[in-house]
A and B are shown apart, each in its own frame.
Chain A
Amino acid sequence: DSGVTQTPKHLITATGQRVTLRCSPRSGDLSVYWYQQSLDQGLQFLIQYYNGEERAKGNILERFSAQQFPDLHSELNLSSLELGDSALYFCASSRGWTVSPLHFGNGTRLTVT
């Protein structure tokens, strides 16, 4: 158990809809990262937060947004969903203030029909 909790595990929704993915980081971790794994693709970096503030953005679509709350949990919001958004979305956390590895959650499998 990595200590990182992602909910829900699975999500099936229709095109055009909006969903929210939730991530609770490991206790004591301040950095939260979001990654997308599409079919046969690697881990694509979406966005990173550190202690409530956005630190870095990757190839995140404008239809996607995220935030990190004061209790350090994070949410990834995906709107106007398209078939191509179907993917496995991973959240990871790390200490952030010192050298530390990323600990990954089990991922949320999103299927857009």
Chain B
Amino acid sequence: ILNVEQSPQSLHVQEGDSTNFTCSFPSSNFYALHWYRWETAKSPEALFVMTLNGDEKKKGQISATLNTKEGYSYLYIKGSQPEDSATYLCAPQKTSYDKVIFGPGTSLSVIP
């Protein structure tokens, strides 16, 4: 079982604030790191799948960076909006056909 940690557990920010969260994972036997956004009463949706050390991906106002050597990834949201309120999950993967085990998530609430 992969030990995946996410911090903080929850976050409350004002609309327009920028924020970031951390995902920590074992750096050995690394293949890919997944980020998902999970809104209440919906299904998780993929944000990014990252594989290369130093990789940075961006989708709108959301971006992520990856450090495979030290085993962490940061997710940034610039100018948070109420619709960004969700739980953000990360999950490492050892091969393309390996299990994907999610961390506990970071719950983000953006207050209008």
Q: Show the binding face of A for B, using Cβ within 8 Å.
A: 2, 30-31, 33, 35, 42-43, 45, 48, 50, 55-56, 58, 90, 92, 94-107
Query: Scoring B residues 1 to 16 as 1 if CB is less than 8 Å from chain A, else 0, what string do you get?
Result: 1000000000000000
Task: Name the residue in A42, A96, A103 with the highest tally of chain B Cβ atoms < 10 Å from its Cβ.
Answer: A42
Does residue B78 face the partner (Cβ distance < 8 Å to A)?
Answer: no
In the assembled complex, 26 residue pairs joining A and B whose CB atoms fall closer than 8 Å, in A order, are A2-B43, A30-B97, A33-B100, A42-B102, A42-B103, A42-B104, A42-B105, A45-B101, A45-B102, A55-B98, A55-B99, A56-B98, A58-B1, A90-B43, A90-B44, A92-B100, A94-B100, A96-B96, A98-B96, A99-B96, A100-B49, A101-B49, A102-B34, A102-B100, A104-B44, A106-B43
Given contacts A104-B43, A104-B45, contact A50 B100 (CB under 8 A): no
Q: With a CB–CB cut-off of 8 A, which chain A residues contact B46? A: 101-103
Closest to B49 in A: A101
CA distance A35 to B91 in the complex (A): 13
Taking a contact as CB atoms under 8 Å apart, the answer to whether B43 and A58 are in contact is no
Does residue B63 face the partner (Cβ distance < 8 Å to A)?
Answer: no
Q: With a CB–CB cut-off of 8 A, which chain B residues contact A102? A: 34, 36, 44, 46, 100
Q: With a CB–CB cut-off of 8 A, which chain B residues contact A107? A: 43
Judged by DSSP, the binding face of A is loop
Given contacts A55-B97, A97-B97, A100-B49, contact A43 B89 (CB under 8 A): yes
What distance in Å separates the Cβ of B40 from its nearest Cβ neighbour in chain A? 12
CA distance A50 to B45 in the complex (A): 21
